[in-house]
């Protein structure tokens, strides 16, 4: 039973934990990519994203399994050969952006809710990320998995409350659902924006032993990662179309619900998600360093080095958020997403499929 959970649920739980971050958790990403295309258009866009994530996740897990590569450096050597560093260039930009944004968001939450200085949020996240990474992959994966379960409990409670208290408003929005053109390319763009996390979290795929398990894990993972977006989209029907202009859409719904305990639990799970998003990304970077170090030293780096790397990354990202560089990078984030499509998605669907086919043929001979 434990192995089944590790194979089929753990990869998806970790992907969801890394994906959800600040924009997803506050609902802003869901509004931008799905709800803005109407209630039915948003559902179709979410279905598009789920299918695309499933295909990309399945292929990535299968390549990881067949070739025994569990860090993004060796994974992209399979896809891009000597050009593997192209992903690392984009990945470094995305890595610092993600850590900086969630650090700033964590600080904002503590400031708004508790009146603490924004630096307190960054400090707490720094300590938590360093602690998790110091104790290694097993602790990181366990925390990400259990927190994902907690997140689902809170999300389901939130959705139930929305249907009970705001069900009539939701029904009214879905009676005449808008279907604005453009939901399909927007759903695909959302996919390219988020699947960049998959190569970073391949360390969670070590238990997968067969192609059937890779396929099952990839499909389950896509559903686990995307279903919260569907939950949020449906809940936003209660304030559609006014919700489209809300900077923090989830907060707008909570103001209607007026349930203090549920809001506290949501903020708690959201803050915890910032920490696990940081830990998941940093752990992926540490796995890459370990792979490089083993090539010449036959062993990985120590836990102390892992912690130092984690601390340096979070501190640097926190500094960047204060300097305004995050805003500068964010302005070109759409271009960055298309860059990942060119470096990751297209090679995966061409070279990756070919390598899987050739490797499978060799195995059967």
Each residue of 180-208: pLDDT tens digit?
888 998 899 888 878 888 988 888 888 89
pTM, 2 dp: 0.78
Rounded mean pLDDT, 316-339 = 61
> Which of 32-41, 192-201, 266-275 bottoms out in mean pLDDT, i.e. has the lowest?
266-275
Query: What percent of the chain is modeled with pLDDT above 70?
Result: 76
* pLDDT the model gives residue 317: 66
* pLDDT the model gives residue 328: 44
* pLDDT the model gives residue 309: 74
* pLDDT the model gives residue 270: 74
Cis amide linkage into residue 241, ω under 30° from 0: yes
Each residue of 235-259: pLDDT tens digit?
998 888 888 887 778 877 877 888 8
Averaged pLDDT score across all residues of the chain: 79
* pLDDT the model gives residue 17: 72
Query: Per-domain residue ranges for the chain?
Result: 2-364
Each residue of 284-295: pLDDT tens digit?
677 667 766 776
* pLDDT the model gives residue 330: 53
Question: Which residue, chain included where needed, has tokens 């104790």?
Answer: 135
Residue 211 has pLDDT above 70, yes or no: yes
Residue 325 has pLDDT above 50, yes or no: no
Tokens found for residue 97: 């952006």
Residue 323 has pLDDT above 50, yes or no: yes
* pLDDT the model gives residue 332: 55
Residue 358 has pLDDT above 50, yes or no: yes
Each residue of 87-124: pLDDT tens digit?
878 877 777 777 776 666 667 667 777 777 767 766 77
- CA 28 – CA 3 distance, rounded (Å): 36
Query: What percent of the chain is modeled with pLDDT above 90?
Result: 20
Q: Which CATH fold topology does 2-364 show?
A: Hydantoin permease (1.10.4160)
Rounded mean pLDDT, 354-363 = 78
């Amino acid at each position: 039973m434990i192995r089944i959970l590790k194979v089929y649920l753990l990869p998806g739980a970790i992907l969801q934990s890394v994906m959800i971050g600040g924009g997803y958790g506050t609902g802003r990403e869901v509004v931008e990519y799905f709800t803005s295309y109407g209630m039915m258009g948003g559902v179709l866009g979410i279905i598009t994203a789920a299918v695309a994530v499933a295909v990309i996740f399945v292929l990535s897990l299968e390549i990881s399994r067949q070739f025994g590569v569990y860090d993004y450096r060796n994974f992209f050597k399979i896809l891009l050969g000597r050009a593997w560093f192209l992903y690392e260039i984009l990945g470094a930009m995305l890595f610092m952006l993600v850590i900086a944004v969630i650090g700033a968001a964590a600080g904002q939450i503590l400031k708004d809710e508790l009146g603490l200085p924004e630096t307190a949020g960054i400090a707490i996240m720094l300590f938590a990320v360093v602690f998790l990474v110091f104790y290694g992959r097993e602790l990181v994966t366990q925390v990400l998995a259990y927190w994902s379960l907690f997140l689902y409990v809170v999300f389901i409670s939130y959705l139930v409350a929305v249907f009970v208290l705001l069900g009539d408003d939701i029904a009214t929005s879905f009676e005449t659902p808008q279907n604005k053109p453009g939901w399909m390319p927007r759903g695909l763009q959302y996919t390219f924006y988020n699947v960049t996390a998959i190569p970073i979290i391949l360390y969670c795929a070590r238990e997968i032993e067969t192609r059937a398990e890779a396929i099952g894990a990839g499909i389950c993972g896509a559903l686990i990662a995307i279903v919260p977006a569907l939950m949020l989209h449906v809940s936003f029907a209660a304030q559609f179309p006014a919700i489209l202009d809300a900077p923090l859409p989830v907060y707008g719904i909570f103001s209607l619900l007026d349930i203090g305990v549920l809001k506290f639990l949501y903020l708690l799970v959201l803050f915890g998600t910032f920490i696990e998003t940081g830990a998941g990304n940093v752990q992926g970077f540490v796995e890459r360093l370990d792979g490089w170090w083993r090539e010449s030293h036959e062993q990985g780096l120590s836990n102390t080095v892992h912690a130092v790397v984690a601390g340096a990354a979070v501190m640097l990202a926190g500094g960047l958020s204060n300097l305004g560089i995050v805003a500068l990078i964010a302005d070109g984030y759409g271009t960055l997403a298309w860059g990942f499509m060119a470096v990751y998605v297209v090679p995966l669907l061409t070279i990756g499929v070919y390598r899987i086919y050739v490797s499978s043929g060799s195995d059967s001979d």
